[in-house]
Amino acid sequence: MRLLPLYLFTMMFFWKVMQLFGGDGPLFFQYSESAKCERNFVWHMLFLNNLIPWGARDACMNWTWYLACDFQFFLMVPFLANLYYHKRHWFWGWILSIWIVALIISASILGKNGFSASFFTY
C-alpha cells in the first residue's frame, strides 16, 4: 500500500504531464511508444502488468514489470512459508506443481517462438 500511490503518481506524470513539456533528449523519440497507457493502466494498478496483456506488448512503462513480479511473490511467500512450517509434504507438492506449470508454460512459449538447436551453439 505504500508503493501504490507513488507508482500511480509516476505513471500519471509519465503518461499525461510529460506530454505537455515535450523534450529533445537523446531518447525522447521513444517517448511516444512508451507512454501508451490508455488500455493497460488498469493492469498496472493491479500489479498484473507482467502477465496481462498476454501475447501483446505493454507500451505503458514497460520497465515496471519487476514491480508486478515482486508484488506477486510478496503475496505468495506467506502462504508457502505457512505451508512449509505446518505441512512440509504439501509444501513440496505445491513447489513441484508450480515448477511443472512454469516448465510447461516456458516450453510452450519456446515452441511457439521457434526454439531451435542453434540456441546451444554459443
pLDDT at 121: 52
Residue 27 contacts residue 84 (beta carbons within 8 Å): no
Helix, strand, coil tally for the chain in percent (to 5): 70, 0, 30
Angle, helices 88-112 vs 65-86, to 10°: value is 150
Per-domain boundaries in the chain: 3-114
User: Would you place residue 13 in the very low, low, confident or very high pLDDT band (cuts 50, 70, 90)?
Assistant: confident
pLDDT at 99: 94
Whether residue 27 is predicted with pLDDT greater than 70 in this model: the reply is no
pLDDT at 92: 95
Tell me, yes or no, if the pTM score tops 0.75.
Answer: no
Query: pLDDT digit string (tens) for 63-107?
Result: 888 888 999 999 999 999 999 999 999 999 999 999 999 999 888
Largest CA distance in the chain: 58
Cα distance between residue 5 and residue 56, in whole Å:
26
**CA angle 28-14-57, nearest 5°?**
80
Q: Give the number of other Cβ atoms within 10 Å of residue 81's Cβ.
A: 11
Q: Give the number of other Cβ atoms within 10 Å of residue 50's Cβ.
A: 17
Query: pLDDT digit string (tens) for 38-67?
Result: 788 888 888 888 888 777 777 788 788 888
pLDDT at 101: 94
